[in-house]
Amino acid sequence: MSNELELRYGMNPHQKPARVYVNEGALPIQVLNGQPGFINLLDALNSWQLVRELKQSLGLPAAASFKHVSPAGTAVAVPLNETLRQAYFVGETELSPLATAYARARGADRISSFGDWAALSDVVDVPTAEMLKREVSDGVIAPGYEPAALEILRQKKGGGYRVIQVDADYEPPAIEERQVFGVRMAQQRNTAVPTIADFTEIVTQNKTLPDAAKRDMVVALITLKYTQSNSVCYAYDGQIIGVGAGQQSRIHCTRLAGSKADTWFLRQHPRVLALPFREKLGRPVRDNSIDQFLLEQLTPAEEIIWQQNFTELPTRLTAAEKRDWLDQWHGVTLGSDAFFPFRDSIDRAQQSGVSFVAQPGGSLRDEDVITACDEYGMVMATTSLRLFHH
């Protein structure tokens, strides 16, 4: 491996020259196919850390689907039920544990994952390569690739699919640096890795925290560690189901992530699963059509285009039907990268089936937030660990 890699350009095509390098030793990455760009590498290096830490903390294969330096979805290898197989367009496809993790990560928010960067904690096998081959994706990073899997990926995008192998044993220096406007800043690297052991400080009246909720809290907090702040996410069944990234207000994070979680639940509604799509309609078009189906109203022009995707016109779900469906779901975990300053996020989260909350605590209004959780029978654990990421 060399200590430098020339890039096509920086964040935008006019930002040339561009390169990635280390001052000492060799780069911990090797490009096996394609030519990654500046943003590709930001996604790759952040997403690799996320899946590595999920695997380290939970001992399960992990995957992430990244877009613009934040995860659209992350997951560990929890088997898919038949409903999720249908909602994720997996069908009867053979899934290894690693492929299952990626199917979940990609399925969290399929609209946002269009053109994603994938990160995988384990050596990529053929079932995972087949999953990647069929999705619109820019590239992948993993600690290794089976020869047959690598050959599959090298054929993607006319041979231009970006494939990066990372040194799984590489540890970066303790001090990390950044330059902004010619000014250098340095700080100790964030080495805190959330684990199940972090959830002993339960501050609510309800203190029953199942193992599945502890797992989902770990998934949520490690995801937040690599999400642009402010950030909030909802986790369920071993995966993220909604991310609210980079908002200036925590309630706006909670609303954004909650709306994505609601969409994830609604994609499993029988009427959505039974939508009469035209034959050979691609998955991205189906994803967009489902998203539009769940909107309250389309413009006349959008409606005409949307109708062309079906063999017969489906009847939209009413607001009451949506609410009835969402009210059936419970056991969701809400994670936050910093404390909740008001109870409003808890009130919003309750509408999306949240039963468990993990957050640092430390707000002047912690008691108000705890009271809100108690009113809804939620379990909240405080970690005293802020996880801002910029």
Q: What angle do CA 255, 333, 212 make, to 5 degrees?
A: 160
Check if 67 is active-site.
Answer: yes
The helix or strand, by DSSP H or E, that contains position 358, with its residue range, turns out to be: strand 354-359
Q: Within 10 A of 166 (CB to CB), how many other CB atoms are there?
A: 20
Q: What's residue 119's pLDDT?
A: 98
**Is-catalytic flag, 12?**
no
68 is catalytic: yes
Give the pLDDT score at 303: 87
From first to last of its 390 residues, what are the pLDDT tens digits of the chain? 688 899 989 999 999 999 999 988 899 999 999 999 999 999 999 999 999 999 999 999 999 999 999 999 999 999 999 999 999 999 888 899 999 999 999 999 999 999 999 999 999 999 999 999 999 999 999 999 999 999 999 999 999 999 999 999 999 999 999 999 999 999 999 999 999 999 999 999 999 999 999 999 999 999 999 999 999 999 999 999 999 999 999 999 999 999 999 999 999 999 999 999 999 999 999 999 999 999 988 888 888 888 899 999 999 999 999 999 999 999 999 999 999 999 999 999 999 999 999 999 999 999 999 999 999 999 999 999 999 999
Residue 56 is predicted with a pLDDT of 97
Query: Of 124, 137, 14, 158, which is closest to residue 67 (Cα–Cα)?
Result: 137
pLDDT at 298: 87
Residues 167, 141 contacting (CB under 8 angstroms): no
Residue 24 pLDDT: 87
Helix axes 283-293, 300-307, angle to 10 degrees: 130
What pLDDT is attached to residue 1?
64
Of the residues 225, 230, 260, 269, which is catalytic? 230
pLDDT of residue 135: 95
| From 68, 157, 252, 322, the catalytic residue | 68
375: left (phi over 0), alpha (psi -120 to 50) or beta: alpha
The enclosing H or E element of 44 equals helix 38-58
Q: What is the full DSSP assignment across 214-278?
A: HHHHHHHHHHHHTSPSSEEEEEETTEEEEEEES-SSHHHHHHHHHHHHHHHHHTTSHHHHT--BP
pTM of the model: 0.96
**β-strand partners of 185:** 178
Do the beta carbons of residue 346 and residue 340 sit within 8 Å? yes
List helix spans (H) across 267-388.
270-273, 283-293, 300-307, 319-326, 344-350, 366-376
Among 33, 40, 46, 67, the active-site one is 67
For each of the domains in the chain, give its residue range(s) and CATH number, in order of start. Answer: 4-166 (3.40.140.20), 193-266+325-382 (3.40.140.20), 275-316 (1.10.287)
